Amino acid sequence: MEQHQKSHHLPKPRNSAGRDLKAAITTGLILGALVLLAVFTLPIGWYLIVACAIAVATWEVHARLNEKGYLVQRWLLIIAGQAMLWMSWPFQTKGLVSAYVVAVLVTMFGRLFHHGRNTPPKNYLRDTAVSIFVLTWIPLFGSFAAMLSRLETESASPAMFIITFMLCVIASDTGGYIAGVMFGKRPLAPAVSPKKSWEGFAGSVFFGMLTGSIAVTFLLGIHWWIGALLGLCLVVCATLGDLVESQFKRELGIKDMSNILPGHGGLMDRLDGMLPAAMVTWLLLSSVMNL
């Protein structure tokens, strides 16, 4: 009887989970194990993981665009994305930017003459802009995630930079999910993503900053406040990345990019926030190292 009375005082979720939580956790654990295995067993394991993720995510996005009548070159996007990624291995940002510029030029010129010299292109601006958007959204941002493995200090190996990034991402997702389900009331951007709330965003910020502070202190040997700043910037970019994908799917009239990941949808549904978050993580941590 006493236990029954106590149960009434436990907080009840304001919102439904909105997905198969057991499947999502299982999938997340499997993906996390694969990442750790690759990072700690192969010299280029992280690059291989990111390369596969970029290729699959590009394929997913292309498939959805193609279904809606957009003319984007699948193999051009995939090959260009891999070139951008692998050029960043020996040459870092110089190699990445060089490959990106070439990819944009080939995309612009290729779409111009897709139907030959004697047939005027249709929807040229739309399709070219979308192709460049995809090149920026997936392989460009993804290459910054890969370049985290090129960061190293006397006290921290490249693996520690990757683990710091992953911990902050997990903390942001988990904190936002719990706070959103339990307390979510005020919509963050109802016109784009009605389910996202300010309470969920606050949960992401709190857990992201806390985890960032702890991770950079004990894994990287950097001042805690840099970790707090990292957590804040990462959460903001991850949240905006989620909103970008939500709008992308809204305009295409789809729910998920695919169904290859149980509990998550498509791979791009998992990477939408991580890609811009990886860019700001690399930017902040590499800048700190150069001070």
DSSP per position, 85-114: HHHHHHHHHHHHHHHHHHHHHHHHHHHHTT
Query: Are both 98 and 169 inside the same structural domain?
Result: no
Please, which pLDDT band fits residue 17 given cuts at 50, 70 and 90? low
Helices (H), the chain: 2-7, 21-41, 45-67, 74-112, 124-135, 141-146, 158-183, 198-215, 224-252, 267-271, 274-289
Answer whether residue 48 shows pLDDT above 60.
yes
Q: Residue 36: inside a domain, yes or no? A: no
- Whether the CB-CB separation of 258 and 265 falls below 8 Å is answered with yes
Q: Which of 87, 51, 238, 114 is nearest to 59 (CA)?
A: 51
Q: Residue 279: inside a domain, yes or no? A: yes
**3-class secondary structure, 217:** helix
Distance CA 46, CA 37 (A): 9
Render pLDDT for 55-83 as a digit per residue (tens, 0 to 9): 999 999 999 999 999 999 999 999 999 99
* Least confident segment among 10-19, 169-178, 187-196, 205-214: 10-19
Which pair of tokens denotes residue 132?
A: 């460049």
At a CB cut-off of 8 Å and minimum separation 6, what does 88 contact?
95, 96, 99, 143, 146, 147, 150
The residue from 116, 150, 184 where one domain ends is 150
Which pair of tokens denotes residue 31?
A: 């993906």
13 residue type, one letter = P
Please, which pLDDT band fits residue 288 given cuts at 50, 70 and 90? confident
Query: Are both 179 and 271 inside the same structural domain?
Result: yes
Query: Are both 140 and 158 inside the same structural domain?
Result: no
Distance CA 133, CA 135 (A): 5
| pLDDT given at position 161 | 96
Share of the chain above pLDDT 70, in %: 92
**Residues forming a β-bridge with 26:** none
Render pLDDT for 108-124 as a digit per residue (tens, 0 to 9): 999 998 888 888 899 99
Answer whether residue 10 shows pLDDT above 70.
no
| pLDDT given at position 7 | 47
| pLDDT given at position 18 | 55
Q: Residue 69: inside a domain, yes or no? A: yes
What mean pLDDT comes out for the span 162-187?
Answer: 92
What mean pLDDT comes out for the span 48-60?
Answer: 96
Query: Are both 89 and 65 inside the same structural domain?
Result: yes
**Residues forming a β-bridge with 193:** 189
* Least confident segment among 125-129, 208-212, 259-263: 259-263
Q: Which of 135, 139, 133, 128 is nearest to 71 (CA)?
A: 128
Query: Are both 48 and 119 inside the same structural domain?
Result: yes
Q: Which domain holds residue 72?
A: 42-150
Answer whether residue 45 shows pLDDT above 90.
yes
Query: Are both 190 and 215 inside the same structural domain?
Result: yes
What mean pLDDT comes out for the span 234-252?
Answer: 95
Phi-psi region of 167 (alpha: psi -120 to 50; beta: other; left: phi over 0): alpha
Query: Are both 168 and 274 inside the same structural domain?
Result: yes
Please, which pLDDT band fits residue 133 given cuts at 50, 70 and 90? very high
What mean pLDDT comes out for the span 246-260?
Answer: 91
What mean pLDDT comes out for the span 184-190?
Answer: 90
Distance CA 28, CA 11 (A): 26
Please, which pLDDT band fits residue 14 given cuts at 50, 70 and 90? low
Query: Are both 289 and 165 inside the same structural domain?
Result: yes
| pLDDT given at position 58 | 97
Count the domains in the chain: 2
For residues 254 and 19, the model is more confident at: 254
